[in-house]
Amino acid sequence: MSKTKLNRILLKLSGEALMGDDSYGIKLSVVDRIAMDIKNLSKKKINICIVIGGGNIFRGLAASADGMDRAQADYMGMLATVLNSLALQNALEKINIDTRVMSALPIQSICETYIRRRAIRHMEKGRIVICAAGTGNPYFSTDTAAALRAAELTCDVIYKATQVDGIYNKDPKKFKNAKKYDRISYKKYLNDNLKVMDSSAISVAKDNNIPIIVFSISEKNCLIKTYVGKNKSTEIS
């Protein structure tokens, strides 16, 4: 990615990133480490908004495959993202980072309802904004929600945090000869049917010229290393 100064970043975290080595739920020590990484990045005077998945607690698509009504399952998945968002907010505020959770589903007693202009104003005041509950609509992934929020909040880039240090032509955990891409175009990503982010998210990013940086969240200081270009990653642009 070019060395142009970034003013606003959207960080997309999977729910699984909060599990650590556990098989389910939220591992608070991992959340605390991610929060510290976010704090270090915020010292660069960058506006930061975050979208978190809910797969560590509930996967709507999997429940739908097991016979649950798809819309109902997706709403449950949205609520799982709210739980994760509150956990990250708690970790950030413990280290004195002013944070707002803004939910696409109205839950006024525990977080604000997402309003675009208010989210922008929070970031302009130096607050971290965590966008919870996806888009608020079933049938859309949190990856798509991240791309939509990045577009409407005029973010310069999407940081897609995963368990792998970029995009490979095949699973690097299964194939030792897997080739890592330093950069891949939106078109090739879609044509090759890659699965790091769903096609809807990639299409939204493409239509709005928002590059996506895919990197591993598993190491300490990964966010600041990604920001200064010293972390292994893949750029989709």
pLDDT for 16: 94
> What digits encode the pLDDT tens for the residues 16-73?
999 999 999 999 999 999 999 999 999 999 999 999 999 999 988 889 889 999 999 9
Note whether 189 and 236 are within 8 A (CB). yes
Q: What DSSP line would sit under 159-194, residue for residue?
A: EEEESSSSEESS-TTT-TTPPEESEE-HHHHHHTT-
φ, ψ of residue 80 in degrees (nearest 5): -60, -35
- How many residues in the chain? 237
Confidence of residue 170 (pLDDT cuts 50, 70, 90): confident
**Pairing state between β 112-113 and 99-103:** parallel
User: Three-state DSSP class for 101?
Assistant: strand
**Cβ neighbours for 70, distance < 8 A, ≥ 6 positions apart:** 60, 64, 138, 139
Q: Which two tokens stand for residue 98?
A: 């002013």
More confident residue, 50 or 172: 50
> What digits encode the pLDDT tens for the residues 76-124?
999 999 999 999 999 999 999 999 999 999 999 999 999 999 999 999 9
Note whether 87 and 31 are within 8 A (CB). yes
Q: What global pTM score does this model have?
A: 0.96
pLDDT for 3: 55
Q: Angle at which helices 142-152 and 199-207 pack, to 10 degrees? A: 10
Which helix (H) or strand (E) segment holds residue 128: the answer is strand 128-132
**Cβ neighbours for 132, distance < 8 A, ≥ 6 positions apart:** 52, 78, 81, 82, 84, 85, 101, 102, 103, 104, 105, 111, 114
Structural domains of the chain, ranges and CATH numbers in brackets: 8-236 (3.40.1160.10)
- Could you tell me which residues are beta bridge partners of residue 234? 214
